[in-house]
């Protein structure tokens, strides 16, 4: 599939494929010829135009003296909106959330003090395989190669510190300090981000954005990313071997993993599920990538903390196909999964490995799954076994009148709020486990950051996701400890007129860390969270806040947020007991703790 920069009317990929424009936002851009002597044929206008052409309508950032001239050109571009954030970290998180909904995101910051501040967010996007264009306003081009010391640096005449920091967390770096090759470097950076589905770094000298140059003609030059192709012989061999392996199994299953996103293979995975009849599960970090209303869906496979009866079916299978898995210490519950390599087919974005036997490179996941679906015998045995052992879930014990609210009661009410017009953002912490148990209706979005797991991610990510998917109402679930890291950008939500519902889970500390290793450092200073949000609101924008301590207050709050205040940013502080956690977190925490505390191997 081509992604065309400069003439995108022919590029209409599926809505949620990262690195591609959503179909609903695909537009034809007509740009007239403008002489290069025109004030519009500048570097600044060129990069703004390119961002719009790949589907970016909002860019997040913080102004600084090195990027101000560039910002002038970005905001002058029709169809591009600058969203000012409270700090660079949140701007990066917002670009991350935007990329999840739109397919690509962008942020703009200033040299070094801004660049080093946004690093953590860029690293998270790298770990989650998100195309993100990080633009930094750099030093005046005349200062390169001199012995001058600049402000916003560590006091050395070497300007490469920021670049060196970005080299390990981006797939391409462009330092634009002359106009001759600026066009090529900018286009290469953007196309590489889309092709690799990773962040890129573009530094632009502060004196260059407004200077006309012949290469910045307004005539859009088609610039295509060549589609990746499977090695046909390798594909056929991989499908042949996998089909033989699975067709002789008695009760095979398939499990979706997070790398289906970067492989753009979600539809292919569903096609395989439909054709095979196998029981279908997802890894926790792939929740939302497989339709949970699929007739063969059995839940989340997460080892000891899986959906009820899911782990038993997956781990007892005599063959399992994992599409795009990441087996880290968190997803494997402290390396405690009961899986056997000789039973597994591991399908990565461009590689297939079958049990202990052959591996096939240059085979794209999407092509492999589609071809395999045509070769498999229909075998619903595992799904039938699941239905034999399945016992419907019970319901939480009903609360007494005015009884202190319990988390399981909270999420019972949250389940009823979900629809195809909503999206869930789950913060790192117990919200991982509680939100994982939600049953997503058709069209309901779901995002969280499991690989990187940076607390505070969800505030900025909610800003970006809500800005990109304005047709959905975002429900964000954030712990009090995480919220304290990035709370300021509630301000940005208000400034953008977003109508997110934030559930602030106030349990007095870092609950997920308590369950891994407790100590006094996990207790945090309690804030008046609704008071803080009211102060940020300051009468500007639409905002409604409330505290809930019991089920009756929760029901009233949800009714208000979804009816009378449906067009407002709603902030609901949910006060619960410090030890009120999901049973999954208790189990997971003890296993991860055991993994963390393994003694050194004998020397």
List pLDDT tens digits, range 483-492.
999 999 999 9
Task: Show the CA angle centred on residue 55, arms to residues 9 and 210, nearest 5°.
Answer: 105
- The CA–CA distances, whole Å, from 320 to 10, 105, 147, 279, 339 equal 38, 35, 60, 10, 9
Q: Which of 218-232, 437-451, 470-484, 552-566 has the lowest mean pLDDT?
A: 218-232
Whether residue 478 is predicted with pLDDT greater than 70 in this model: the reply is: yes
The pLDDT, as a whole number, for residue 26 is 35
The pLDDT, as a whole number, for residue 227 is 86
Percentage of residues in the chain having pLDDT higher than 90: 79
Non-local CB neighbours of 219 within 8 Å, separated by 6+ positions: 31, 33, 34
DSSP run (H or E) holding 446: strand 445-448
Whether residue 19 is predicted with pLDDT greater than 60 in this model: the reply is: no
CA distance 456 to 483: 6
- pLDDT tens-digit profile of 338-368? 999 999 999 999 999 999 989 999 999 999 9
The pLDDT, as a whole number, for residue 39 is 64
The pLDDT, as a whole number, for residue 145 is 80
Strand order in the sheet with 359-361: 297-300, 279-282, 253-256, 320-323, 344-348, 351-354, 359-361
Tokens for 138?
Answer: 């750099």
- pLDDT tens-digit profile of 62-74? 999 999 999 999 9
Indicate if the alpha-carbon torsion angle 314, 319, 321, 326 is positive or negative. Answer: positive
- pLDDT tens-digit profile of 75-100? 999 999 999 999 999 999 999 999 99
What stretches of 202-298 show up as alpha helix (H) in DSSP? Answer: 232-247, 260-263, 266-276
- pLDDT tens-digit profile of 416-459? 999 999 999 999 988 999 999 999 999 999 999 999 999 999 99
Q: Evaluate whether 435 touches 477 at the Cβ level (below 8 Å).
A: yes
Q: Evaluate whether 431 touches 449 at the Cβ level (below 8 Å).
A: no
The pLDDT, as a whole number, for residue 357 is 85
The pLDDT, as a whole number, for residue 150 is 87
Mean pLDDT of the chain: 91
The pLDDT, as a whole number, for residue 537 is 97
Tokens for 422?
Answer: 């909503």
- pLDDT tens-digit profile of 493-532? 999 999 999 999 999 888 888 888 888 988 899 999 999 9
Confidence of residue 10 (pLDDT cuts 50, 70, 90): very low
The pLDDT, as a whole number, for residue 510 is 86
Residue carrying the six token digits 């005539």: 219
- Report the DSSP pairing between strands 445-448 and 344-348: unpaired
pTM reported for the whole predicted model? 0.92
- The CA–CA distances, whole Å, from 188 to 22, 39, 74, 193, 356 equal 22, 24, 19, 9, 39
Confidence of residue 552 (pLDDT cuts 50, 70, 90): very high
Whether residue 22 is predicted with pLDDT greater than 50 in this model: the reply is: no
**What integer is the mean pLDDT of 529-541?**
96
The pLDDT, as a whole number, for residue 135 is 98
- The CA–CA distances, whole Å, from 472 to 98, 425, 443, 468, 507 equal 13, 12, 10, 9, 28
**What integer is the mean pLDDT of 135-159?**
89
Percentage of residues in the chain having pLDDT higher than 70: 92
The pLDDT, as a whole number, for residue 185 is 95
The pLDDT, as a whole number, for residue 221 is 63
């Amino acid at each position: 599939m081509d992604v065309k920069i400069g003439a995108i009317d022919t590029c209409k990929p599926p809505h949620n494929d990262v690195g591609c424009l959503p179909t609903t936002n695909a537009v034809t851009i007509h740009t007239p010829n403008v002489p290069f002597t025109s004030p519009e044929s500048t570097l600044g206008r060129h990069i703004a135009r390119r961002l719009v052409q790949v589907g970016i309508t909002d860019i997040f950032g913080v102004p600084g003296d090195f990027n101000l001239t560039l910002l002038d050109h970005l905001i002058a571009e029709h169809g591009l909106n600058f969203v000012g954030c409270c700090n660079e970290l949140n701007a990066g998180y917002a670009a991350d959330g935007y990329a999840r909904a739109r397919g690509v995101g962008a942020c703009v910051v200033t040299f070094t003090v801004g660049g080093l501040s946004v690093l953590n967010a860029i690293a998270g996007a790298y770990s989650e395989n998100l195309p993100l264009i990080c633009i930094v306003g750099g030093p005046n081009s005349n200062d390169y190669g001199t012995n001058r010391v600049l402000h916003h640096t560590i006091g050395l005449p070497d300007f490469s510190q920021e670049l060196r920091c970005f080299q390990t967390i981006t797939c391409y770096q462009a330092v634009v300090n002359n106009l001759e090759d600026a066009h090529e470097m900018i286009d290469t950076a953007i196309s590489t981000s889309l092709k690799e589905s990773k962040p890129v770094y573009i530094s632009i000298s502060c004196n260059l954005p407004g200077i006309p140059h012949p290469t910045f003609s307004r005539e859009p030059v088609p610039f295509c990313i060549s589609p990746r192709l499977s090695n046909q012989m390798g594909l056929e061999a991989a499908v042949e071997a996998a089909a033989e392996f699975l067709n002789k199994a008695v009760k095979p299953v398939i499990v979706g993993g997070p790398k289906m996103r970067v492989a753009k293979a979600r539809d292919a995975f569903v096609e395989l599920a439909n054709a095979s009849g196998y029981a279908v599960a997802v890894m926790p970090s792939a929740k939302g990538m497989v339709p949970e209303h699929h007739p063969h869906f059995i839940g989340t496979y997460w080892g000891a903390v899986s959906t009820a009866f899911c782990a038993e079916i997956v781990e007892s299978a005599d063959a399992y196909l994992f599409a795009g898995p990441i087996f880290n210490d968190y997803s494997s519950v402290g390396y405690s999964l009961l899986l056997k390599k000789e039973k597994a087919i591991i399908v990565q974005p461009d590689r297939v490995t079958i049990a202990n036997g052959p591996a096939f490179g240059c085979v794209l996941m999407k092509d492999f799954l589609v071809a395999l679906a045509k070769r498999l015998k229909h075998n619903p045995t595992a799904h039938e076994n699941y239905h034999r052992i399945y016992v419907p879930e019970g319901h939480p014990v009903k609360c007494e009148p005015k009884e202190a609210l319990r988390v399981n009661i909270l999420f019972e009410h949250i389940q009823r709020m979900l629809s195809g017009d909503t999206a869930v953002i789950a913060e790192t912490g117990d919200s991982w486990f509680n939100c994982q148990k939600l049953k997503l209706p058709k069209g309901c979005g779901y995002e969280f950051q499991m690989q990187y797991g940076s607390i505070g991610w969800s505030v900025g990510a909610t800003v970006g996701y809500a800005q990109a998917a304005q047709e959905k109402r975002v429900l964000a679930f954030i712990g009090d400890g995480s919220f304290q890291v990035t709370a300021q950008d509630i301000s940005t939500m208000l400034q953008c007129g977003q109508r997110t519902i934030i559930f602030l889970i106030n349990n007095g500390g870092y609950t997920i860390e308590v369950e891994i290793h407790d100590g006094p450092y996990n207790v945090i200073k309690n804030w008046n969270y609704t008071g803080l949000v009211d102060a940020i609101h300051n009468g500007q924008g639409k905002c409604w806040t409330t505290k809930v301590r019991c089920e009756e207050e929760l029901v009233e709050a949800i009714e208000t947020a979804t009816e009378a205040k449906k067009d407002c940013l709603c902030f609901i502080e949910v006060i619960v007991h410090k030890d009120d956690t999901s049973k999954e977190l208790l189990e997971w925490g003890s296993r991860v703790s055991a993994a963390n505390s393994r003694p050194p191997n004998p020397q």
